[in-house]
Chain A
Amino acid sequence: MIERTPILNAVTYFIMILGLILILGPFWMIFTASTQSLQEVTAVPFNMTPGGDFLKNVHAAWDRANLGPALLNSLITSLLVMVGKIALAALSAFAIVYFKSPLRHVFFWMVFLTLMLPLEVRVIPTYNIASDVFQPVRWIIQTITGIELSLQWNLLNSYSGLVLPLIATATGTFLYRQFYMTLPDELAEAAKMDGARPLRFFIDILLPLSRTNMLALATIMFVYAWNQYLWPKLMTTDASYQTAMVAMRALVPSVNALPEWNVSMAGALIIMLPPLVVVAVLQRWFVRGLVSTEK
């Protein structure tokens, strides 16, 4: 930066290029494998130049993993999670930050505690409740009044089931809370002075101000939702609701079948592309969202 250090600069470039190989190497291998024929892809040592079978492999992967509907499901789920999460986060952070109420601490800690309950440790009961959402409601009503209700709502194999448990998490709420905290108090004071009610203040002032925030949150939530695996895998027994990430399992060559890695890699390439494009193109927003949620 300041002095001339030709040797150290050369070393730096050397390390950075090694890093680049480490990062881009796997991408290049996925790509080349996806363009080769079965014979080429199983060749040892592996040939790092692309072949000419890309479209053929994509076609095979598309059929094998039923990628058309799977990609559509992933897209729908991700967009719904994105929108739902932003809406929920903006609203609930507003309730936490801008209202003086003893409940706000309770609510904040309730949201905070969810960070300690990742899906993997509560997977079966979450599955249970998704198959019968009103189970706690029935239980409460029955213990209080003794009346047995027959209220039922099954979320398995539905978009609501894919989306609702994912938008309940805490990250977005914290991002918005952080953002509201950085706004000057005078803003709310002035709005109150001008006679704005809370809802007007929220819609006309807070939401427009949070546009950059929203974009940042949108990028990370899209990537987050697209890359979900365990939850969609468990709750979509019906193939027509499978997401792309789950469908990818069908692309793993089985032990006794042909090792068709070219088809696997073609499918993997398509499935990993949307979040990669989001991260690459909207990198500025993505990084900002990520850095500010995790503090």
Chain B
Amino acid sequence: MNKRAVFKSWWLPVLFALPQLLLILFFFYWPAISVFNWAFTLEPAFGGAGERLFVGFDNFRDVFADSEYWRSVSLSLFFAFTATGLSMFIAFILAICVDRQLKGSSLFRFFYIWPYAIAAPAVGLAFRFIFAPESGLIAVVNTWSPDLWNPAKYGSHAMILVIICFAWKWIGYNFIFMTAGLQSIPRSLLEASSMDGSGPVRRALDIQIPLLAPTLFFLLVLNLTESFVGPDTYGIVDLTTEGGPNKATDVMVYRIVSEAFRGLNYSGAAAQSLVLIGLIMVFTFIQFRFVERRVHYK
């Protein structure tokens, strides 16, 4: 889509775009080039000065040979799919209910959006308390039998906790988009089908869900990307489990940051970063192709 009426000047657009251009060059592209550089090179031995050593794919080989890396990958996959599924499922049920526009449903809608306003670390802190083994909501199960629930001790419990945090926070976001998607379905379609004798459930299954499919797909890709590489995952893990216990919640984003800053393994972290960037590119490409196609349908 292009504008017919445009201004002619070669230096004005450059001038207007310059501030943002400089910022992304400094804070996105230069760091990205460094990541690329680090991923294929090593610091000179003994911290000596001089050129970095080009080592080809050695850093990648080291990363891929590490069984802990693959554990982190599978943890991330598990986390991403479960959290996305849970969050989207709940948000979808709520959105369908609210969209029936019964009396008072706008009040429900008002509250359902709230979780999106809460920062991931704050969600993490709050749920850490709510699901704490010694106090809070769930602690009561430990009075029946000790350590029935203890995310500080059992990896699987910690993973459940992190998934719940992420899913809860993203209910708000998913809900916003699903209600927007449902609202854009023409009411006349629903009315026509009810004239033909279909009930609300049939309408939901045969009209609302198929027409919402583009939105659902968009949300699916977005949720997966966010849970895989998003800042929320980092914030939640950092405030609840710090990757533990025994690295049971050491998801890829958390691992990269902690490896680089605590382990000071820049080259290894950079190689892992490149793998993640590749994954994001795949996700974004799918998203973009899909969005383009939908524009054509309109």
Binding site for B on A (CB under 8 A): 1-3, 5, 8-9, 12-13, 15-16, 19-20, 22-24, 26-27, 29-30, 33, 41-46, 88-89, 91-92, 94-101, 103-104, 107, 110-111, 113-126, 128-130, 133, 135-136, 164-165, 167-168, 173, 180-181, 185-189, 192, 198-199, 201, 223, 226-230, 234, 245, 248-249, 251-252, 259, 261, 264-265, 268, 271-272, 275-276, 278-280, 283, 286-287, 290-291, 294-295
List chain A residues, Cβ under 8 A from B17.
91-92, 95-96, 107
Q: Is there an interface contact between A88 and B125, defined as CB atoms closer than 8 Å?
A: no
Q: Is there an interface contact between B266 and A124, defined as CB atoms closer than 8 Å?
A: yes
List chain A residues, Cβ under 8 A from B121.
229, 245, 248-249
Identify 21 residue pairs between A and B in the complex whose beta-carbon atoms are under 8 Å apart, listed by A's number: A23-B172, A24-B114, A30-B129, A44-B142, A99-B6, A103-B10, A104-B13, A107-B17, A113-B28, A118-B229, A121-B229, A121-B256, A122-B35, A123-B257, A125-B38, A130-B27, A133-B26, A189-B4, A201-B7, A276-B117, A280-B114
A121-B273, A126-B27 given; A44·B21 CB < 8 A? no
Taking CB atoms and an 8 Å cut-off, the chain B residues in 90-111 that contact chain A are 90, 93-94, 97-98, 100-102, 105, 108, 110-111
Taking CB atoms and an 8 Å cut-off, the chain B residues in 21-74 that contact chain A are 21, 23-32, 34-35, 38
Binding site for A on B (CB under 8 A): 1, 3-10, 12-14, 16-17, 19-21, 23-32, 34-35, 38, 90, 93-94, 97-98, 100-102, 105, 108, 110-122, 125-130, 132, 134-137, 139-140, 142-143, 168, 171-173, 176-177, 180, 187, 190-191, 194, 199-201, 218, 222, 229-231, 234-235, 238-239, 253, 256-257, 260-261, 266, 269-270, 273-274, 276-277, 280-281, 284, 291
List chain B residues, Cβ under 8 A from A276.
114, 117-118
B117 contacts which of A3, A26, A46, A278 (Cβ < 8 Å)?
Answer: A278
Q: Is there an interface contact between A110 and B24, defined as CB atoms closer than 8 Å?
A: yes
Assembled-state Cα–Cα distance A197/B296 (Å): 34
A91-B17, A126-B27, A279-B113 given; A264·B125 CB < 8 A? yes
A114 contacts which of B16, B24, B112 (Cβ < 8 Å)?
Answer: B24
Q: How far is the CB of A139 from chain B (nearest CB, A)?
A: 9
List chain A residues, Cβ under 8 A from B6.
98-100, 188
Residue in B111, B126, B177, B273 whose Cβ sees the most chain A Cβ within 10 Å: B126
Q: How far is the CB of A122 from chain B (nearest CB, A)?
A: 4
Q: Is there an interface contact between A91 and B20, defined as CB atoms closer than 8 Å?
A: yes
> Do most interface residues of chain A lie in helix, strand or loop, or is the interface mixed?
helix
Q: How far is the CB of A87 from chain B (nearest CB, A)?
A: 8
Q: How far is the CB of A95 from chain B (nearest CB, A)?
A: 4
List chain A residues, Cβ under 8 A from B270.
124
Apart from A198-B7, A229-B235, A249-B239, what 7 extra A-B contacts exist at CB < 8 Å? A8-B201, A29-B136, A104-B13, A188-B5, A261-B136, A265-B129, A272-B119
B26 contacts which of A15, A103, A129 (Cβ < 8 Å)?
Answer: A129
Q: Is there an interface contact between B125 and A248, defined as CB atoms closer than 8 Å?
A: yes
Minimum CB distance partner of A279 in chain B? B117
A121-B277, A129-B30, A181-B1 given; A230·B235 CB < 8 A? yes
